[in-house]
């Protein structure tokens, strides 16, 4: 269980979470910042679940004062921050293979070791990514995971889980999305069902509606 929480946290660190480095006299530490839109109430469950993942490593992570609405953040935002630790820096450098100054948004991670993990651990990693940067395309009945720099790696992990998917450049986001059929994504499951995010609830409704329509025919 704790291992799956760690893999989920890795996915979130590649996705939504910001990593801040703090300099000390002899070394530097890092913390994890999570800022989630208040547009969806379920983002509270998501943030608290991420905090639990961090807590399971023996680190503190708690909720901060909400960010007020502004032109840049029209709905305001929920916020969480972990303690600054050498362990977070180790995860960033040793587990994700990134150097100081690199960012998970723009720099591809070097984490091929994940491919040799157990299936449930790889699913947890994908869930962390999808809960951060996934969405349901209602028209095409597909699920997308948005990525600027790690689409190929995400596709490789999904293929190792026997999920058929493709990569496609999105002019809307300026990213390369990893796309899979809703039924396969639901069966994985691509979103963490414990969190009951708005993405998971929407996907559950769409898949069950499609099954009902197929049965009615």
Q: Please provide residue 62's backbone torsions phi and psi, each rounded to the nearest 5 degrees.
A: -135, 165
User: In this predicted model, what pLDDT tens digit does every residue of 184-201 receive, in sequence order?
Assistant: 999 999 999 999 999 999
Instruction: Tell me the pLDDT band of 217, cut-offs 50, 70 and 90.
Output: very low
**What percent of the chain is modeled with pLDDT above 70?**
95
Predicted confidence (pLDDT) at residue 216 exceeds the cutoff of 60: no
pLDDT digits (tens, 9 = 90+) for 103-154: 888 899 999 999 999 999 999 999 999 999 999 999 999 999 999 899 999 9
The Cα 194–Cα 192 span in angstroms is 6
What tokens appear for 190 in the block?
A: 């691509």
Across the range 40-50, mean pLDDT stands at 97
* pLDDT recorded at residue 215: 46
Annotate 46-70 with b (16+ C-beta within 10 A) or e (fewer). Answer: bbbbbbebbebbebebeeeeebeee
pLDDT at 24: 67
pLDDT digits (tens, 9 = 90+) for 57-103: 999 999 999 999 888 888 999 999 999 999 999 999 999 999 888 88
Residue 25 has a pLDDT of: 64
Domains of the chain are 2-216 (3.10.28.10)
Could you count the other beta carbons within 10 Å of the beta carbon of residue 149? Answer: 16
Handedness of CA 79, 85, 88, 93 (dihedral sign): positive
Q: Which residues pair with 165 in a beta bridge?
A: 180
58: which DSSP letter?
Answer: T
Residue with tokens 């708690």: 62
Pairing of strands 18-23, 61-67: unpaired
The answer to whether 86 touches 1, Cβ cutoff 8 Å, is no
């Amino acid at each position: 269980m704790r291992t799956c929480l760690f893999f989920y946290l890795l996915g979130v660190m590649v996705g939504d979470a910001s990593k801040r480095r703090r300099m000390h006299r002899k070394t530097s530490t890092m913390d994890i910042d999570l800022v989630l839109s208040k547009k969806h109430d379920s983002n509270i469950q998501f943030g608290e679940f991420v905090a639990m993942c961090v807590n399971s490593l023996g680190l503190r992570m708690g909720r901060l004062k909400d960010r007020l609405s502004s032109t840049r953040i029209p709905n305001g935002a929920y916020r969480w921050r972990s303690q600054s630790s050498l362990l977070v820096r180790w995860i960033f450098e040793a587990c994700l293979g990134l150097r100081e100054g690199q960012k998970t948004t723009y720099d591809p991670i070097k984490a091929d070791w994940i491919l040799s993990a157990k299936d449930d651990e790889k699913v947890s990693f994908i869930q962390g990514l999808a809960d951060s940067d996934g969405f349901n395309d209602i028209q095409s009945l597909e699920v997308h995971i948005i990525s600027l720099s790690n689409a190929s790696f995400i596709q490789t992990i999904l293929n190792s889980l026997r999920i058929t998917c493709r990569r496609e450049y999105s002019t809307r986001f300026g990213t390369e999305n990893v796309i899979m059929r809703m039924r396969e994504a639901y069966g994985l499951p691509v979103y963490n069902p414990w969190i009951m995010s708005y993405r998971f609830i929407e996907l559950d409704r769409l898949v069950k509606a499609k099954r009902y329509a197929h049965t009615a025919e």
